[in-house]
Chain A
Amino acid sequence: MSTLKFHYKVDKTDFTRAGEASSDVKGKLKKMGCDPEVVRKVAIAMYEGEINMVIHADGGVIDVEISPEDITLVLKDKGPGIADIDKAMQEGYSTASENVRSLGFGAGMGLPNMKKYSDEMKIETELGVGTTVTMVIHNT
């Protein structure tokens, strides 16, 4: 299997479409015969990232690279940036609005889930500029 690359655009504040990119990647990985646990890890990590982009930033873009060794997800937004990464990484800490909570999100599990389900995660963020989250999941 050679390296495959996919690019997705995540629309701003469109909860109805959030999850489409993750579903698409999940379907592709399944078809490629990836290990179901790897598929699950990618689907969860990417969906949480997608939801974060919709909740906190004005959407963004996701680049997915699938190689025989790894699946790399790069989620890039031009949102407000993360003021306190340590706090954001704590389970239960959330800055989501009431409206977002009423939809069942905002439990403060987004970034912790992303870290839990990826094998490597890197967050680059700058206030007022945006955030880039890179996640690597080993394709074993």
Chain B
Amino acid sequence: MTVNELAEKAGFETLNLADGSDERTISGIYCCDLLSVAMSKGFPGAAWVTIMGNINAAAVASLTDMACVVLAEGAAIDEMMVSKAKQQGITVMQSPLPIFETAMKINGLLNA
């Protein structure tokens, strides 16, 4: 499944849709809020589910080559994250569901 397809099918709010998201394949799901742990364990192509909606989360997503960030719990996103995501080409979505349910929803779509 591509990032674009996830954005269309999940029913999450898309805060930034990066160029090339119709070609970016999601390789799996990763859940974590601690950025240093995410930095180490987040993997290329991951849909990263987190509540960290700050500029540093955008940096971590970019540096680890994760496919997109999904902010769970309707977590607030700061403007600087949006601009960083635009600048770095990272797709960011927002889900009203808790982390587990958000990840399960993505999982269901990946395995559909």
Contact = CB atoms under 8 A, between A and B. Distances in A.
A137 interface: no
Assign chain A's interface to a size class: 20 to 34
A40 B39 contact: no
Nearest first, the 6 closest Cβ-Cβ pairs linking A and B are A19-B59, A109-B36, A104-B35, A107-B34, A43-B63, A107-B36
Interface string B47-77: 0000010111101101111000000000000
A68 B62 CA distance: 25
B50 to A, nearest CB: 8
28 contacts: A16-B80, A18-B56, A18-B59, A19-B60, A19-B62, A22-B59, A23-B59, A23-B63, A36-B44, A40-B64, A43-B63, A44-B40, A44-B63, A47-B63, A51-B36, A103-B35, A103-B54, A104-B35, A104-B52, A104-B56, A104-B57, A105-B36, A106-B36, A107-B37, A108-B36, A110-B36, A113-B36, A113-B40
B19 interface: no
Contacts of B62: 19, 23, 26
Contacts of B33: 104
A15 interface: yes
Interface of A: 15-16, 18-19, 22-23, 26, 36, 40, 43-44, 47-48, 51, 103-110, 113, 116-117
Interface of B: 33-37, 39-40, 44, 52, 54-57, 59-60, 62-65, 80, 88
B59 A47 contact: yes
B18 to A, nearest CB: 15
Contacts of B63: 19, 22-23, 26, 40, 43-44, 47
Given A104-B33, A109-B36, A113-B36, A44 B64 contact: yes
A40 B44 contact: yes
